[in-house]
Amino acid sequence: MQLGMIGLGRMGANMVKRLLKGDHQCVVYDLHQDAVKAMQQSGVIGAASLADLVAKLPKPRVLWLMLPAAVVDENLALLAPLLDAGDIVIDGGNSYYHDDIRRAAELQARQIHYVDVGTSGGVAGFERGYCLMIGGEKETVQRLAPIFSTLSPGVDAAPPMAGRDKPGSTAEQGYLHCGPHGAGHFVKMVHNGIEYGIMGAYAEGLNILRHANVGKQSGEVDAETTPLRHPEHYQYELDLPEITELWRRGSVISSWLLDLTAGALLQDPKLENYAGRVSDSGEGRWTINAAIDESVPTPILSAALYARFSSRGEAGFADKVLSAMRHGFGGHLEKPVKPKED
Amino acid sequence: MQLGMIGLGRMGANMVKRLLKGDHQCVVYDLHQDAVKAMQQSGVIGAASLADLVAKLPKPRVLWLMLPAAVVDENLALLAPLLDAGDIVIDGGNSYYHDDIRRAAELQARQIHYVDVGTSGGVAGFERGYCLMIGGEKETVQRLAPIFSTLSPGVDAAPPMAGRDKPGSTAEQGYLHCGPHGAGHFVKMVHNGIEYGIMGAYAEGLNILRHANVGKQSGEVDAETTPLRHPEHYQYELDLPEITELWRRGSVISSWLLDLTAGALLQDPKLENYAGRVSDSGEGRWTINAAIDESVPTPILSAALYARFSSRGEAGFADKVLSAMRHGFGGHLEKPVKPKED
Amino acid sequence: MQLGMIGLGRMGANMVKRLLKGDHQCVVYDLHQDAVKAMQQSGVIGAASLADLVAKLPKPRVLWLMLPAAVVDENLALLAPLLDAGDIVIDGGNSYYHDDIRRAAELQARQIHYVDVGTSGGVAGFERGYCLMIGGEKETVQRLAPIFSTLSPGVDAAPPMAGRDKPGSTAEQGYLHCGPHGAGHFVKMVHNGIEYGIMGAYAEGLNILRHANVGKQSGEVDAETTPLRHPEHYQYELDLPEITELWRRGSVISSWLLDLTAGALLQDPKLENYAGRVSDSGEGRWTINAAIDESVPTPILSAALYARFSSRGEAGFADKVLSAMRHGFGGHLEKPVKPKED
Amino acid sequence: MQLGMIGLGRMGANMVKRLLKGDHQCVVYDLHQDAVKAMQQSGVIGAASLADLVAKLPKPRVLWLMLPAAVVDENLALLAPLLDAGDIVIDGGNSYYHDDIRRAAELQARQIHYVDVGTSGGVAGFERGYCLMIGGEKETVQRLAPIFSTLSPGVDAAPPMAGRDKPGSTAEQGYLHCGPHGAGHFVKMVHNGIEYGIMGAYAEGLNILRHANVGKQSGEVDAETTPLRHPEHYQYELDLPEITELWRRGSVISSWLLDLTAGALLQDPKLENYAGRVSDSGEGRWTINAAIDESVPTPILSAALYARFSSRGEAGFADKVLSAMRHGFGGHLEKPVKPKED
């Protein structure tokens, strides 16, 4: 098929390359024309503007936006007047699904079809394929099957599921029409919420292993600190790169995220290249909002989000309140600074 | 090698079968002689008692205990007097590593070697191999390499790690000498703690997806309930068996636990075969104890443990306290029972 | 002053009574005319309709809405056309502050003043006074000072704060102009979020005390349950009514909520009158939403909210997912039902 | 009565002063003889050594230890040989109740009575009185009633509880025999666990109020940060000293800890005197251990403990793991440092 790609960041550029390998034709645009030029060597047609992009695509056009969620609406506002009835606009970024529902209605008024696609895979997606969670009208989604089929990992990417016999389903290919407008980003949102939780579970566990030698440190004795009762239980110097490699085989917690972790620890066993300030990108937050709207308890997913906030110092004032209270009732003074280390 | 297996439950019996496939000789014992008889058809030598088991093994003996953690000590008390200097006792169950440290010292007084092995793999281990986390003396562990090598999944069980070049390491085989006595069960303990967290992350996320249709239910209006502000955002009927199958390919959250979840949902999409009372088996609790001793924050792993407690009704009295307080300050009465459903 | 009260539920009726004691004149209206009639014996003027209420008040009118948050907008839609420029509408219920911001703008277009008042105090407020958190225009709030002064507890309700010297401040009276439109309900929202957390802290702690006798129960031995290692540490039969009464004097955790708890336990030591299904009324949810928007970590306040969700069975499907996974990897079956008790 | 006090820190010295006011005679000892001298001006008898202290007390002796938990055992080891059958040793510090159970048995072998007293009140206790949670033999506790009666706040310290009619109970005085050995410190332990939770609830809520102005800050637009969707909802500059003072009157969350918080914010509205490194002193940890042993879910109390760990940088390595994973799957780099501010 022919497809126009708007946005050539890490994700967009790799997706175009994967589409080219699958013999699709791509016209590409990015505000940064350098990115467009860099791609043209790969056999794509570059566009100098949104209007140019639209002009270079056959009708009904298929346009894929791969942009930061914060700029999708302004791009849509510029793009929509350039389009014709029957064209399809796909938002493959990390939009909030509320926006999908609104945008789909707005574009429908112009007879333009809107499809939301939650895209997982990251920088490995070019090789590994992208897991695509799709929302929109059934017919529109079906028309885009060749695109989705090329982008997704394909059936061989995982062992077949015993007992599964659903010939019509595309889930085994790695893409799925999840429901009406917004359903794709809704499922991707929760996917990312789960991702935060899983990442946090590994991180907490590895932190425990990392400090299995605390019994070797001599403790201080004062009224505010309880000494370690059994230092003899914490005398282990554990080799995290080896342990994470070990867990990749046969353990209940083997996963792709574990593979990445083992790889990172292999290169940098103490993770000295990182300061531990962890960003969060929206989906983790929206997941909690949805959970609360639905009355679904999500202590794990929330804890994972808050750990990221705290890693960036956002608990600071709350911590000061605690210190002030302790001073108030017990006359406790804060202890000297212990630098944030590993 | 020759090995005596004590305990022929789900785990022990399968491990013997895998050892037989690897051309080891096994003498087996279980308190339930039926289990011994069932195994004898597989080519093992059965033992009628611990003494019989010990008598049928060549010196220095290798004995593997695969028993509930609660009965290991009583079995060791019976077993130790039957053994000779130089014999090796392996505890492959889910013992607390504190007990390993104590037992190793006790057995060392008799010149018996003790090895603790955290074993992950579950019922799939016979086919998939067992991930073995090992603690003990270096030489003893090395002597057991043929056993560990057969039980573990082997290098092909996971894709090779780019950049890894550690020829002497066994982690790539799926077994690892983690450190001195207790280190094996310590690492396994944290492994299970992580497992609880990962499981909980999927469970919470799927619960959100499951209730993505709450906007279809009409709400009640009273002073105690806030109505859903945007029911139009919760109109999705999501297909969980399809979505979990989808995530197996290309997504960031693909894992073996996800494979199992997709399989369970394929068979029973609403999980009607389960009541939702979730057991916990010790390692999850000990993980939190260790984290607290080490001053390591583990909100995710704790939340996962508490969710299991709550699933069994253990929050009941706390909930009553909340209701009593609400009655006290607001005159609030509890609403009629909503049965615990999915 | 003269004030029209709309809504004569638990809160509204008591507030009218307190205003009467302070020599204000009240015209009252409720959809349920029985409530109006019941109040008329107290010396108020009853109104048969919103129009009647408006007609019976002198201009510029002051109207106080004390209604479930879910019906405020529909009442405002009926009321606004009946009002004149310069009238004041107060929403003293539990509205979401987003709505305050919107409503204030809508009413401003009609030159009607809007004031949001977060009201704490519950059923005890008639005697104890109401803590009032107020948002709106400065001049409008000042005009209402006589009302606020009567409703609030007054300076003697708490011991004077050492070193405090802010003569103009009304905080010591128990009411405060917190900021522009919405600020009152914003502060009340967070107040309730804190309330959930405090309540939950007591509830969890009392649950631990309640089960300090678990060492007396004989445990089962199987591969899935870890026995209590030290039953001798859990042999206490603690008297919760006495302990909560004790804590009321001199302890760091004395509070009004503790007073209520001690009172409830005195009447019903095992809280057998409650089933433990705990409602949540909106502010707790909105507090978390605000925290997430602000990147403020709130693990405690979230945990308190989720405990209420879980008390109503909302974790059910997540729990089933855990059981299904455990069956998948370990062949574990759920244990027989343990009824939800205290 | 006559009482020997061992340990003249913040708590011990004030307790002696309160006992003196109640016409008890005190012999005092502290390793730092300066502390002894300082007290002698108050009318106590100083002791130069433990032996001297014991010699100066009439038999049967009553000795009260008010020491850091970490040094109680070494002091008891020195003290016990100096005592006689029938003497009473009271540990009023923050000992782990496991130690009480052990010590009581050890001392019982010498016919010495041991009493554990959990003491709440902090530096305000001299004026306000101490809330005393007592474990030990019934008769021994009864013999000490004059001491407990003087130290505790007395019945007037809280409003009488409606409907309470338990003439024999001392809970209304502010002291209580909670149960056998260890029961006092068990109840105090849980008391402190609750305290952590309550403190954390206020701290989180105040942090939300503090950042109610985040909408005034301009956000950045990139693929990793989700912009604040409604900055117009976060335009409030809230006055925390005024709001906390306000809540002291009539609100549901009024408490002694709130009084302290309001006082601290009055003196230092931004809490600039604190860095936010919060200590924890043992009871919070042991509370979680007990909860886990009892299978009682305690997400709030745990979160409160972990917030303290995190405030001291203990999540550092876990945070680095998250950053490393994010780099692995998404090529994400950490953002520049944002200093830990309020």
Give residues with Cβ within 8 angstroms of C234, minimum separation 6. C211, C212, C213, C214, C215, C216, C228, D290, D293, D294
pLDDT band (50, 70, 90) for residue C341: very low
- Residue C268 three-state SS: coil
In tens, the pLDDT along D261-281 reads: 999 999 999 999 999 999 998
> Considering only CB atoms, which chain D residues are within 8 Å of A323?
271, 274-278
Residues D317-336: what's their mean pLDDT?
90
What's the CA gap between A64 and A6, in Å, rounded? 6
Q: Nearest Cβ partner of A249 from B174, B195, B299?
A: B174
Q: Which of B194, B288, B309, B310 has the highest number of chain D CBs within 10 A, making it the mutation to test binding with D?
A: B309
> Considering only CB atoms, which chain C residues are within 8 Å of A98?
none
Cα of C249 to nearest chain D Cα, Å? 5
Sheet holding D131-135, edge to edge: D45-46, D25-29, D2-6, D62-65, D88-91, D113-120, D131-135, D175-179
Residue B312 to residue C338, Cβ atoms within 8 A? yes
pLDDT band (50, 70, 90) for residue B340: very low
In tens, the pLDDT along A78-124 reads: 999 999 999 999 999 999 999 999 999 999 999 999 999 999 988 88
> Considering only CB atoms, which chain B residues are within 8 Å of D252?
329
Structure confidence at residue B217 (pLDDT): 86
Residue D299 to residue B303, Cβ atoms within 8 A? yes
- A281 contacts chain B (CB < 8 A): no
Q: Which residues of A are catalytic?
A: 188, 195
Q: Which of D207, D252, D283, D311 has the highest number of chain C CBs within 10 A, making it the mutation to test binding with C?
A: D252
Chain pair A-D, CB pairs under 8 angstroms: 282
Structure confidence at residue A342 (pLDDT): 46
In tens, the pLDDT along C64-117 reads: 999 999 899 999 999 999 999 999 999 999 999 999 999 999 999 999 999 999
Mean pLDDT (chain B) is: 94
pLDDT band (50, 70, 90) for residue B224: low
Q: Which residues of C are catalytic?
A: 188, 195
In tens, the pLDDT along C125-152 reads: 999 999 999 999 999 999 999 999 999 9
The region that residue D52 occupies, defined by phi over 0 for left and psi between -120 and 50 for alpha, beta otherwise, is alpha
Residues B227-235: what's their mean pLDDT?
94
- Residue A19 three-state SS: helix
Cα of A85 to nearest chain B Cα, Å? 26
Residue D297 to residue B285, Cβ atoms within 8 A? no
**In the CATH scheme, what is the code of domain C2-156+171-181?**
3.40.50.720
Q: Which residue from D minimizes the CA distance to C288?
A: D208
Residues A183-208: what's their mean pLDDT?
98
Phi, psi angle pair for C262, to nearest 5°: -60, -40
Helices (H), D22-154: 33-40, 50-55, 72-79, 97-108, 125-128, 138-143, 145-151
What's the CA gap between C218 and C209, in Å, rounded? 19
In tens, the pLDDT along C239-266 reads: 999 999 999 999 999 999 999 999 999 9
- A302 contacts chain C (CB < 8 A): yes
In tens, the pLDDT along C37-58 reads: 999 888 899 999 999 999 999 9
Q: Of C66, A329, C301, A237, give the one whose Cα is nearest residue D304.
A: C301
The proportion of chain D whose per-residue pLDDT surpasses 70, expressed as a percent, equals: 96
B195 noted as active-site residue: yes
Q: Which residue from D minimizes the CA distance to C200?
A: D300
In tens, the pLDDT along B236-253 reads: 999 999 999 999 999 999
Structure confidence at residue A340 (pLDDT): 43
What's the CA gap between C280 and C292, in Å, rounded? 19
Cα of B269 to nearest chain A Cα, Å? 13
**pLDDT-wise least confident of A224-238, A243-257, B211-225, D62-76:** B211-225
Q: Nearest Cβ partner of C302 from A299, A307, A329?
A: A299
Residues A40-55: what's their mean pLDDT?
94
Residue D320 to residue A274, Cβ atoms within 8 A? yes
Structure confidence at residue B47 (pLDDT): 97
Taking CA B250 as the corner, what is the angle to CA B244 and CA B255, rounded to the nearest 5 degrees? 55
Total count of residues recorded for chain C: 342
Residue C314 to residue A296, Cβ atoms within 8 A? yes
Residues A140-167: what's their mean pLDDT?
96
Q: Which residue from D minimizes the CA distance to B299?
A: D303
Q: Nearest Cβ partner of C295 from A289, A302, A314?
A: A314
In tens, the pLDDT along A198-208 reads: 999 999 999 99
- D265 contacts chain A (CB < 8 A): yes
Residues B136-156: what's their mean pLDDT?
98
Mean pLDDT (chain C) is: 94
In tens, the pLDDT along C197-248 reads: 999 999 999 999 999 999 998 665 555 667 899 999 999 999 999 999 999 9
- C307 contacts chain B (CB < 8 A): yes
Chains that touch A (3 or more CB pairs under 8 A): B, C, D
Answer yes or no: is pLDDT of C160 > 60.
Answer: yes
In tens, the pLDDT along B3-55 reads: 999 999 989 999 999 999 999 999 999 999 999 999 988 889 999 999 999 99
Answer yes or no: is pLDDT of B342 > 50.
Answer: no
Q: 3-state DSSP: chain C helix, strand, coil percent, rounded to 5?
A: 50, 10, 40
- Residue C314 three-state SS: coil
In tens, the pLDDT along D285-323 reads: 999 999 999 999 999 999 999 999 999 999 999 999 999
What's the CA gap between D280 and D283, in Å, rounded? 8
- For strand C113-120 and strand C45-46, is the pairing parallel, antiparallel, or unpaired? unpaired
> Considering only CB atoms, which chain C residues are within 8 Å of A298?
306
Cα of A134 to nearest chain D Cα, Å? 20
pLDDT band (50, 70, 90) for residue C342: very low
The residues pairing with D114 across neighbouring beta strands, listed in sequence order, are D89
Residue A313 to residue D339, Cβ atoms within 8 A? yes
> Considering only CB atoms, which chain B residues are within 8 Å of A245?
161, 164, 169, 171-172
User: What are the sequence ranges of the domains in chain D?
Assistant: 2-156+171-181, 190-214+232-315
- B294 contacts chain C (CB < 8 A): no
Chains that touch C (3 or more CB pairs under 8 A): A, B, D
- Rg of chain C over Cα atoms, rounded to whole angstroms, equals 25
Structure confidence at residue D342 (pLDDT): 45
Residue C205 to residue D190, Cβ atoms within 8 A? yes
- For strand B45-46 and strand B25-29, is the pairing parallel, antiparallel, or unpaired? parallel
- C191 contacts chain B (CB < 8 A): no
Structure confidence at residue D341 (pLDDT): 46
Residues A56-74: what's their mean pLDDT?
96
C-alpha dihedral over A251, A252, A253, A254, to 10 degrees?
A: 60
Mean pLDDT (chain D) is: 94
Mean pLDDT (chain A) is: 94
Give residues with Cβ within 8 angstroms of D251, minimum separation 6. C120, C121, C131, C191
Structure confidence at residue D208 (pLDDT): 98
Answer yes or no: is pLDDT of A179 > 60.
Answer: yes
- C49 contacts chain A (CB < 8 A): no
Give residues with Cβ within 8 angstroms of C242, minimum separation 6. D166, D169, D171, D176
What's the CA gap between D19 and D28, in Å, rounded? 12
Chain pair C-D, CB pairs under 8 angstroms: 358
Structure confidence at residue B16 (pLDDT): 97
Cα of A1 to nearest chain C Cα, Å? 40
Interface of C with D in 134-173 (CB under 8 A): 152-155, 157-159, 161-164, 166, 169, 171-173
Residue D221 to residue A68, Cβ atoms within 8 A? yes
Active-site residue among D17, D106, D137, D195? D195
CB B257 within 8 A of CB A252: yes
Structure confidence at residue B142 (pLDDT): 98
Residue A250 to residue B204, Cβ atoms within 8 A? no
- B174 contacts chain A (CB < 8 A): yes
Answer yes or no: is pLDDT of D98 > 60.
Answer: yes
Q: 3-state DSSP: chain D helix, strand, coil percent, rounded to 5?
A: 50, 10, 40
Q: Nearest Cβ partner of C332 from B71, B263, B279?
A: B279
> Considering only CB atoms, which chain A residues are within 8 Å of C305?
292
Structure confidence at residue A251 (pLDDT): 95
The proportion of chain A whose per-residue pLDDT surpasses 90, expressed as a percent, equals: 88
Q: 3-state DSSP: chain A helix, strand, coil percent, rounded to 5?
A: 50, 10, 40
Q: Of B107, A296, B255, C243, give the one whose Cα is nearest residue D191.
A: C243
In tens, the pLDDT along A279-337 reads: 998 999 999 999 999 999 999 999 999 999 999 999 999 999 999 999 999 888 887 65
CB-count burial class (<10 Å; 0-12, 13-18, 19+) for D231: middle
CATH fit for domain B190-214+232-315, picks 3.90.870.10, 1.10.10.10, 1.10.1040.10, 1.10.760.10: 1.10.1040.10
Structure confidence at residue A332 (pLDDT): 82
Top-confidence residue, D230 or D220: D230
Structure confidence at residue A225 (pLDDT): 67
Active-site residue among D56, D172, D188, D283? D188
What's the CA gap between A118 and C328, in Å, rounded? 28
**pLDDT-wise least confident of A221-225, B101-105, B178-182, D191-195:** A221-225
In tens, the pLDDT along A203-235 reads: 999 999 999 999 998 665 555 667 899 999 999
pLDDT band (50, 70, 90) for residue C337: low
What's the CA gap between B272 and C324, in Å, rounded? 10
Q: Nearest Cβ partner of B297 from D285, D295, D314?
A: D314
Interface of D with C in 66-85 (CB under 8 A): none
Structure confidence at residue C295 (pLDDT): 97
Structure confidence at residue C41 (pLDDT): 83
Residues D233-242: what's their mean pLDDT?
98
